[in-house]
Chains A and B, each alone.
Chain A
Amino acid sequence: MKRLSDDDWRDHDFTGERVGVIADGVEAARIVPRVLRSAASVKVFQREPTWVLPMAVPVVGTLAARLNLRMSIKDPWTRRLLTPGQFGRREVALSRRYYRGLRHPSCTLVAWPVYAITDHGIRTAEGIEHRVDTVVITSTVREELAS
C-alpha cells in the first residue's frame, strides 16, 4: 500500500486505484473531488466534519452551510455524520464538488475513528480493516496516529 502525505497526492496518478483519504473535513473537501476523477474507488476517513459551502457567503455562513448540507445530502444519517459537533471547527470549507463526490457510487464516507495503518489497509475502531491501494494522509493526522 502506497502512502502519500501532504501535497504528494497532487502529482500521483490514481487511475484504477482503491484510495483511502484520512483527513479533517476541510482537507477532505479539497482532496476528495480531485482523487475521485481517476480512482476506482475512494473511502473518505473523515476525522472531523466541517461546514461546506460552494462559495463564500458572508455573515450567515453556518446557516447557509446547514442549508447546503440539507439540500446536497438526502440520507439523514450521512447528513448527521457530516454535521460538525459542539466542539467542532467553526471554519467553513469552500467546495462545489465535495458533497457531490460523497454521493458518487464509488465514494464511501467512513466516520469511525482510525487507529492504525497497516501494510494492507486502514484499521478503524469498529473493528474492520479497510483495504486500499493508496492512502492519502495529512501531516496532522499522521503525527496524531504516530503518537
Chain B
Amino acid sequence: MTASNGTGFDFDAMLQTIKDKQWSLADIDWDAPGAETMTDELRAKMQPFMADLVWIEHVGARGFASLATKAPTETIQEIYHYFHAEEQKHANAELALMKRWGMLDEDGSMPEPNINVKMAIKVLDEFGDGLPLTGLATLIPLLECALDGALVKFLLEEVHDPVCHEVFRHINSDEARHITVDFQVLELIGAGPLHKLLIESIGNLKLQVIVGLIVVFVPLINKMRDNIVAMGLPEQKLYNAVKRYGTIGGRGHYTQRIPAYHVLRSQAAMVIDRSHPYHRLLADPLVKLTSFVPARILGRPQAWVDEVTHEPVAS
C-alpha cells in the first residue's frame, strides 16, 4: 500500500519509522541513581496508580491485537502488530519502574487487577476479536488521548526519578505515533462509502456488545477517573486530555462521518463533567454494583494476561 489511500497519509513510511524507533528495556539502566527520590509517602500514593497504569497498557495491548485482525490493509495490520507489542512494552517498562521503586512483592509478580479490569479482560477475551473495526478504532484513540494527555503528565510531575523520565520519553514518543496512526485510520474509515459506515454502525448495535461495553467500561473509566482526581490530578488536565480527542478528530475531513466517534466524544464529555447526571444515574451505581461481582465467576483469563514481565532479558 502506498501513500495514496484516500487520505494522503503514507502508512508505509510510518511503519518504517516505527521499526526504526524501536527500543528495549535492556537500553535502560534500571540501577541508575534516582530511585531514592521515591519517598515512602509518594510510594504509598503512587502504587495503586502505577498498578492501574500497567493494567491499562496491558489491556490496551490486547485491544491492538484485536484491531490487527481487522486492519483494512496489510501495512496497517503490521503497524497494529507493532502497537500491540509496544503497549506490552510500556506495561513491562512500567512494571520495571514499580520494581525499581519497591512497589512489587518479593517475587516481583504483577499486581492483582481490580474487578473492573478483570471484567474488561473477560469482555476482550469473549468479544474483542468480534468487535467491528469502526468501534475499536474509535475507542482506542480516546483511551490513548486520556493516557498520554493526563495520566502520564501527572506521573512525570509527581515523580522526579530520572529513569522514570527516560522511560516516558520513549513511551511518549511511541504514543505520539499511535495517536497519529489511530486518527489516520479513522480518516481512512470515514472516507469510505457512507452507507457502509451506517450499515456497520447499525450492525454494532448488538445487545451483548452494548451491554458488555456499558457494564464493563463505564465503571472502569469512572473508577479510574475518581482515583486519579482523588490523588491530586487537576480535573482541568483530564478535561484538556479528552478535549484533545475532539480537537484532533475535528481536524480530519472524514472522521466526523463516523457515528461511533460522535458517541464516544459525547460520552467522554460526560465522563469529565462530574456534575453530569451520567455519573449519578449510570456510572456511580455501576461502580457500586460491579464491586459485588465475584471474580471467580469470570473464569480463568486467556494466557496473554501472563505475558507482562519486568525483566529486560529473558533466557
* A positions within 8 Å CB-CB of B: 18, 75-78, 80, 85-87, 112-113, 115-116, 121, 123-132
Contact = CB atoms under 8 A, between A and B. Distances in A.
Contact of A124 (B85, B93, B129, B302): B85
Contacts, number: 75
B23 interface: yes
A75 B313 CA distance: 25
8 contacts: A115-B19, A126-B92, A127-B23, A127-B25, A128-B24, A128-B313, A129-B312, A131-B313
Dominant SS among interface residues on chain B:
helix
Given A127-B25, A129-B24, A86 B69 contact: yes
A41 B302 CA distance: 24
Contacts of B25: 127-129
The A contact surface, by secondary structure, is mixed
Contact of A130 (B74, B304, B314): B314
Top 8 A-B pairs ranked by shortest CB distance?
A127-B89, A125-B85, A77-B303, A126-B88, A77-B302, A115-B22, A87-B74, A131-B315
A129 to B, nearest CB: 5
B290 interface: no
Contacts of A121: 313
A125 B82 contact: yes
Given A127-B25, A127-B93, A85 B69 contact: yes
Most buried by B among A75, A77, A121, A130: A77
Most chain B CB atoms below 10 A, which of A124, A125, A130, A132: A125
Contacts of A130: 313-315
B26 A123 contact: yes
B85 A112 contact: yes
B68 interface: yes
Contacts of B74: 87
Given A77-B302, A131-B313, A123 B22 contact: yes
